A and B are shown apart, each in its own frame.
Chain A
């Protein structure tokens, strides 16, 4: 055992060596016996021999005794160490209890740091680290089509894509298509909206899940002509049929049609991106499968790769399939695909799920680590200040024979208690904060509902506690153990002047806190500016006051198109007649609603851009009042009217983006021109107006595509979105909407209700959530740093109160005293801020992907941060000085 280790853990060297002890003891016995025998008349040699013989096997007795003694001594050592530890803890507890303010601040500091860390670690572990709950999840992959040069980086798959890949790509062991939609569940008058997934039969085998009861779909149910069947979730089984009741064979009414339940999925089964309650078979006829031109391509595709196959191999096989298919395709199609940069893509399922949350979570984790660091530094400062206040006592203990290790150990005990209590509070706080994590739910962070505090998290916290107490306790303890004993004892009064080492360390700790706070504040500031910049982007319409929702008016409910249009008319008319409603309109898609469909559009007679427009533009079917309700400005021509119906000539309105693309807008107006919409069975329409462009997806990603609007009465209507502009606030507007809908048809559900502003907010979630947390952390860091500075300065002022009093007595002004303390504060703060600035400049580069229209080293933000911290430093130095001066001269002089 190394001597240093022995010293720290107080393993004392025994006064006598155990082995020598035993040897001496036994020798004494034999000698005494020999003496006795010699006195009885034996010769010296004979007596000794006889004594040895009477004693027995001396060597074995000796070793037995040595063993016993060693064991006893080890136990005694342990006991004395435990006693010493108990003494340390007891002493520390008493010392901490005697200073509740100091203890409270230190514990809270630890609790904040450790708690935030706990919550975030739990999230990171569940969301990022834990594998998906499927068989060999690393083999699961998503496939999609991409047309990057047509502005569509990711588009859905068709049944043709699915069949080709499943058959011709050896890397794909199994694959399925699925959709994430909602269905109307229940009997007339009591319907509700249910998350549902139409899937091909192989979807379940691809994931490798089996039903808990009954069966999933047979392969032949992927073809039409079967009675309607449904597989339900464990949750729906319990909710709808009652736990334990037979469900298989019963019927469920879905979208107005009875479906037979054929299976129940296990309780643990959840699809990560869609918490579906029911699964329906996706059925395609032979004609649908072979007629590629007419295939809808809005299906997601999931595949299980063959064992040992990498994503790269799968991608290269897909590329080969693409090449072969394009070879065989008509030249026109091949040319369009080429121009759009078409490629089939494959990505890892878990990677893809996490691509949007990985960076923000790691960013937050980094921020939390900084908070804990600042907390440790802060507690270290507190302990250091307290240690210096007890310097004389420490020196006295030295003189009385306490080893340096003893003093270090005692301070470690103190920081360990603080960290432990802080850790326990932190876990409690973290568990509570986990509830706050619920805000993620709305933003659909995958697997966020699986987050919990488990043994792994608690173990991690234990590590944090240990590390924190070491960092916070060791620094000041080592500094204190190096004190100049003589000087400390010679100096008068109860306190002693700390040596230069301690003073330096204290300054270093305070400066470090300021530096860390600088980094956090700079990060929060940059993100705040980014979000502000994003919200400053004009979306092209007026979102304030608009509530958006989905109206499920399906062909199942109203088979006749005419009937559906009349339903919408009745609904809008009734709604607009309601007090407080300014206007209402329906549209096949709304901005920021998260869904979009792109359609090929090109001017008639203009072939140049034909290939360019594959899947190119947003085509939205709207009711006549749409532009008014949304306040999208009309730039030329006219909007739609009631007369643009099936009887009149097809018309279209384009936005300025499309106009600029094809007609040199604004010099040349497209009004009166003909456009062709759709690539397979193109529909012609005459452009009657030009409106302003609208940001569709994300304020930070202005849509370059251009948009076409068509009148609902000419395109027909199915599931539609509704935008309602009201003056009475969200709830009143929503209530009015529900009421109007129920009055027209109580069986049509209203889903996905959000205000337009909320929808815009959602799309900025990957900036706003990290900002929210980062800002909170930065404020905590600022408070902690200011507290640390205040504590250190207050101590130093108090210590110099005698000097201050003498100066005052000698005629120095209060201004001079303030200047003195301020100078001292600046001497600490300025280096801290400079280092913080440097660190922020280096670290903020990692923030680049979160920033919008602001550089990572924006001088305005950095200057503001420096100013805030300088102000905090100023306040932290003025306050203790003011207090010291208020006490006045005489008491301070008398105090020592």
Chain B
């Protein structure tokens, strides 16, 4: 795995965020994470898929087969209502977490 390792649960948060704008397939999710983080956040690409299926099993994502712009069949994921709520919760938790870590780092020892 190249780049920085993701914290546990972070990948889920990124996936939820990636699907929040509408139905999207797995490859596009990976691409989006790579591009928006300027290549800093990298996961082994295959690891995306168990995460997607797990989120679907949780009921946060739903999937359907559809056609890509280029006319290929692909599995598209979109956020469910429960997924949207989960995204909000996770996001809040992430912000608090980062803030807390930052506060510790900036403390004068």
A residues near B, CB below 8 A? Answer: 16, 21-22, 24-26, 28-29, 32-33, 54-58, 61, 64-65, 68-69, 71-72, 75
Contact = CB atoms under 8 A, between A and B. Distances in A.
Contacts of B53: 22, 64-65, 68-69, 72
27 contacts: A21-B75, A25-B49, A25-B74, A25-B75, A28-B26, A28-B74, A29-B26, A29-B30, A29-B45, A29-B48, A29-B49, A32-B27, A33-B27, A33-B45, A54-B45, A55-B44, A55-B46, A61-B49, A64-B49, A64-B50, A65-B49, A65-B53, A68-B53, A69-B56, A69-B57, A71-B57, A72-B57
B54 interface: yes
B105 interface: no
Contacts of A72: 53, 56-57
A29 B29 CA distance: 10
Contacts of A26: 46, 49
Given A28-B26, A29-B45, A56-B47, 5 more contacts: A54-B45, A55-B44, A57-B46, A58-B46, A64-B53
B68 to A, nearest CB: 9
Interface string B18-30: 0000000111001
B19 to A, nearest CB: 15
A57 B44 CA distance: 9
Contacts of B72: 28
Interface string B56-71: 1100000001000000
B75 A68 contact: no
A598 to B, nearest CB: 86
B73 interface: yes
Name the residue in A33, A57, A65 with the highest tally of chain B Cβ atoms < 10 Å from its Cβ: A65
B7 to A, nearest CB: 19
Contacts of B73: 24, 28
B12 to A, nearest CB: 13
A65 B50 contact: yes
A68 B25 CA distance: 18
A83 to B, nearest CB: 16
Contacts of A65: 49-50, 52-53
A868 to B, nearest CB: 65
Contact of A68 (B27, B47, B48, B57): B57
Given A56-B44, A56-B45, A29 B27 contact: yes
Contact of B25 (A21, A28, A33, A56): A28
A103 to B, nearest CB: 39
Nearest to B43: A56
A55 to B, nearest CB: 4
B3 to A, nearest CB: 12
Contacts of A33: 27, 45
B83 to A, nearest CB: 14
Contacts of A54: 44-45
A69 B58 CA distance: 11
A32 B74 CA distance: 11
Nearest to A54: B45
A340 B26 CA distance: 102
The 9 closest A-B pairs by CB, nearest first: A56-B46, A68-B53, A56-B44, A61-B46, A72-B57, A32-B27, A55-B46, A64-B50, A65-B53
Nearest to A58: B46
Nearest to B59: A72
Nearest to A63: B50
A55 B45 contact: yes
A32 B57 CA distance: 25
Which of B25, B27, B65 has the most chain A CB atoms closer than 10 A to its own CB?
Answer: B27
A72 to B, nearest CB: 4
A56 B42 CA distance: 13
B6 to A, nearest CB: 14
A61 B65 contact: no
A69 to B, nearest CB: 6
B46 A68 contact: no
A24 B66 CA distance: 13
A56 B72 CA distance: 23
Nearest to B2: A54
A65 B56 CA distance: 11
A28 B27 contact: yes
Contacts of A57: 46
Contacts of B65: 16
Given A56-B44, A61-B47, A68 B54 contact: yes
Contacts of B44: 54-56
Contacts of B49: 22, 25-26, 29, 61, 64-65
A605 B53 CA distance: 111
A64 B46 CA distance: 11
A26 B53 CA distance: 12
Nearest to B54: A68
Interface string B66-102: 0000001111000000000000000000000000000
A16 B75 CA distance: 12
A248 B55 CA distance: 75
Contacts of B56: 68-69, 72
B82 to A, nearest CB: 14
Nearest to A61: B46
A65 B53 CA distance: 6
B101 to A, nearest CB: 29
A50 to B, nearest CB: 11
A25 B52 CA distance: 11
A56 B47 CA distance: 8
A55 B30 CA distance: 11
A58 B30 CA distance: 16
Contacts of B57: 68-69, 71-72, 75
Contacts of B75: 21, 24-25, 28
A873 B46 CA distance: 77
A68 B50 CA distance: 8
B69 to A, nearest CB: 12
Contacts of A61: 46-47, 49-50
A29 B46 CA distance: 9
A25 B76 CA distance: 10
B26 A25 contact: yes
A32 B27 CA distance: 7
A823 to B, nearest CB: 64
A47 to B, nearest CB: 14
A56 B57 CA distance: 23
Contacts of B52: 65
B55 to A, nearest CB: 9
Contacts of A28: 25-27, 72-75
A565 B66 CA distance: 113
A636 to B, nearest CB: 104
A18 to B, nearest CB: 10
A22 B52 CA distance: 11
B5 to A, nearest CB: 14
**Which of A22, A24, A29, A75 has most B Cβ within 10 Å?**
A29
Contacts of A21: 75
A61 B50 CA distance: 6
A16 B66 CA distance: 13
A53 to B, nearest CB: 10
A22 B63 CA distance: 12
Contacts of A16: 65
A33 B53 CA distance: 20
A804 to B, nearest CB: 59
A33 B34 CA distance: 13
Interface centre among B44, B49, B57 (most CB of A within 10 A): B49
B72 to A, nearest CB: 7
Nearest to A26: B49
A59 to B, nearest CB: 10
A71 B59 CA distance: 12
Nearest to A29: B27
A61 B43 CA distance: 13
Nearest to A25: B75
A68 B44 CA distance: 19
Nearest to B29: A29
